[in-house]
Amino acid sequence: MAGDSSFDIVSKVDRQEVDNALNQAAREIGQRFDFRGTEASIRWAGELAVEIEASTEERAKAALDVFKDKLVKRGVSLKALDAGEPRASGRSYRIGAALTQGISQENAKRVSKIVRDEGPKGVRVQVQGDELRVSAKKKDDLQQVIQLLKERDLDIALQFTNYR
């Protein structure tokens, strides 16, 4: 085991970048002409949950688009954002959006199956809670695994950390 190289596959969002994107989106919503009089707002609704509110369904969706645009500019993958449908709440419409962290057991099994079936021989994958550890004798094999997973269009945001 001493000669093995490894890296971790995680799915995390940088809370500070999301906070910056939310603040930028709130500022833009407050200043843009097409949002005037719609009482549109965006705010935190929990540790990793955002709530968007506006007087019409279209403006609520437009505010969500502004937030998504700011997330992309800040390097946060939209695959980590799970936005619901607009729902009527009194005289306004609300959209709840959650940011997902960690790799579920189902997705971990799917990723490890991809690596086992399509990756180079001799690569081992271990599920460690909500992340995966990939190890191999050769670093080139690990590079091939990273490339393989980047080319796949998985419905989760993956980052590769602790490369040794």
Q: pLDDT in tens for each of the 164 residues of the chain?
A: 456 899 999 999 999 999 999 999 999 999 999 999 889 999 999 889 999 999 999 999 999 999 999 999 999 999 999 999 999 988 999 999 999 999 989 999 999 999 999 989 989 999 998 999 999 999 999 999 999 999 988 888 889 998 88
Could you tell me if 94 and 30 lie in one domain?
yes
82, 99, 116 - which closes a domain: 99
Could you tell me if 37 and 94 lie in one domain?
yes
d(CA 15, CA 21) in angstroms, rounded, equals 10
52, 79, 99 - which closes a domain: 99
Which residue intervals of the chain are DSSP H helices? 15-31, 57-73, 105-118, 139-151
Percent helix, percent strand, percent coil in the chain, to nearest 5: 40, 25, 30
Give the per-residue pLDDT at 3.
67
Confidence (pTM)? 0.85
Q: How far apart are the first and last CA of the chain?
A: 13
Q: Count, in order, helices (H) and strands (E) of the chain.
A: 4, 9
Could you tell me if 117 and 61 lie in one domain?
no
Question: Total structural domains in the chain?
Answer: 2
Place of tokens 């505010």: 63
Could you tell me if 20 and 93 lie in one domain?
yes
Could you tell me if 84 and 22 lie in one domain?
yes
d(CA 55, CA 43) in angstroms, rounded, equals 15
Give the per-residue pLDDT at 144.
92
Could you tell me if 21 and 94 lie in one domain?
yes
Domain of 57 in residue numbering reads as 15-99
Could you tell me if 113 and 94 lie in one domain?
no
Could you tell me if 107 and 94 lie in one domain?
no
Could you tell me if 26 and 52 lie in one domain?
yes
Could you tell me if 51 and 80 lie in one domain?
yes
Could you tell me if 94 and 72 lie in one domain?
yes
- DSSP assignment letter at 102: S
